[in-house]
Amino acid sequence: MPEKDENGTSKVVEKFNPDSMQDLLPIYYKRLFPHMQFYRWMSYGLSEPSVFSNREFSFTLQDDIYIRYQSFENQSELEKEICSKVPFKIDIGAVYNVRPKDHRASTVMKPVQRELVFDIDMTDYDEIRTCCSEANVCTKCWKFMTIACKIIDAALREDFGFEHLLWVFSGRRGIHCWVCDKSARHVDTKGRSSVAEYLHILISGGEGSVTRVSLGDRMHHSIKRAHKIIEPYFEEICLVEQNMFGTPEGLRKLLAMVQDEGIRLDLDKKLKPHAGNSKALWQAFVAFFEALRVSGQNRSRRFRYIVEETQLAFTYPRIDINVSKGFNHLLKSPFCVHPKTGKVCVPFNPNVAEKFDPTQAPNITVLLNEVSAFDHKQTADGEEERSRIKDYKKTSMFKGTVIFEEFLRKLEQTFKGKAILTSDKKMEF
């Protein structure tokens, strides 16, 4: 799919060759990776003792050489090591009670804080999406990620009061959310599990079964909000673009939403004439349960929310709750370059998540070409001006970096002056 420039003119996007990573990464880390902003994030203004120096980083080098328990004293040390080792992937772990690099000398090494994180992978939608499968992603199925982002972001802000959320494209087929409020970073394992379970409403019956939702007699306010987010997308995504119920297997999944065998058999008879047409099937499904409700039969109460349950079952976020529950789980760092796609893990704005296009996410080959093209266009008279412009501002990575800087600006306002207080307290001992 051709990318369009600022004038709306189509241009060919250069494809990424995975074999070029070893040549491109050293330049990327030297010229484009936002080392200063990354340190600002991980150090949290040094508002807490050892918050940076006790942080674990892991590097995956070329040929899958994996190095854990890396830790650094300052930005310069981290930047030097990244540029020296040129990791194909950087993972971020917890802050420990000791420096991770000294873990062999410590008898008790335990995590003391870590961002609350959420990981959503498009492969977990393979049971419902029809446009792609496995590692493949397109703009149609990416709409599931838009819904997931909006639902989780709203719940974390409105139900838990968190403010500092960083949303990041994973570089291939998913999204990550980093909740960076101090209260979130210090939540214990039990608390993380509670938050994860609160956001996990899908019921999976195992292989071969269908994911369901059961709301009971009352719909919780968070579910109402999630359904309100989902409903405007449902017809466009599920009935038109994905045509979820248009195959015999799709129809089977729709019927499986109904647990009562007698009702399911009656429903099957009503739906069969519309086989192959998702919109007509859905209209018949809704009409069937509306007629059941109007009939006043006792069994109709069990299906009070069947329409909402079905919509949620096919669109609600598929969260990897084990990632969120784990205190010391390692998660890929923002601004890594995915080794298979060459795409950078850039932050994006959750408020306009629908405008993010994963197929056009910044590619390391294109980014470095953009820097070269920008520099080439400068005349000799503009040499001095060119050197003052940061390299990322010359590229399509600029937008993601600006989003990251805005996130940092708001985060840093919460601990202004606290670094000084921490230093003063140290003087007392």
- Residues marked active site are found at 56, 119, 121
Cα(209)–Cα(195) distance, rounded to whole angstroms? 26
Q: Measured between alpha carbons, how far is 87 from 66 in angstroms, rounded to an integer? A: 9
Which residues neighbour 369 within 8 Å (Cβ) at sequence distance 6 or greater?
A: 14
Beta bridge mates, 89: 60
Q: Token digits for 149?
A: 């982002």
Give the residue among 292, 309, 308 at the shortest CA–CA distance from 300.
Answer: 292
Unique residue bearing structure tokens 């484009």: 32
The Cα–Cα gap between 77 and 103 comes to: 19
The long-range contacts involving 220-226, CB below 8 angstroms and separated by at least 24 positions, are 222/155, 222/159, 222/198, 223/308, 223/312, 225/151, 225/154, 225/155, 225/158, 226/151, 226/154, 226/155, 226/312, 226/316
Q: Please say whether the beta carbons of 277 and 248 come within 8 A.
A: no
Q: Which amino acid does the sequence have at 380? A: A
Residues pairing with 337 in the sheet? 344
C-alpha 140/C-alpha 130 separation (Å) is 10
What is the C-alpha separation between 65 and 63, in angstroms, rounded?
A: 6
400: left (phi over 0), alpha (psi -120 to 50) or beta: alpha
Task: Compute how many other C-beta atoms are within 10 angstroms of the C-beta atom of residue 259.
Answer: 12
Residue 45: CA atoms inside 13 Å, Cβ hemisphere, count?
19
The rounded Cα 343 to chain-centroid distance in angstroms is 15
Q: How many residues are recorded in the chain?
A: 429
Q: Two tokens at 253?
A: 């999944």
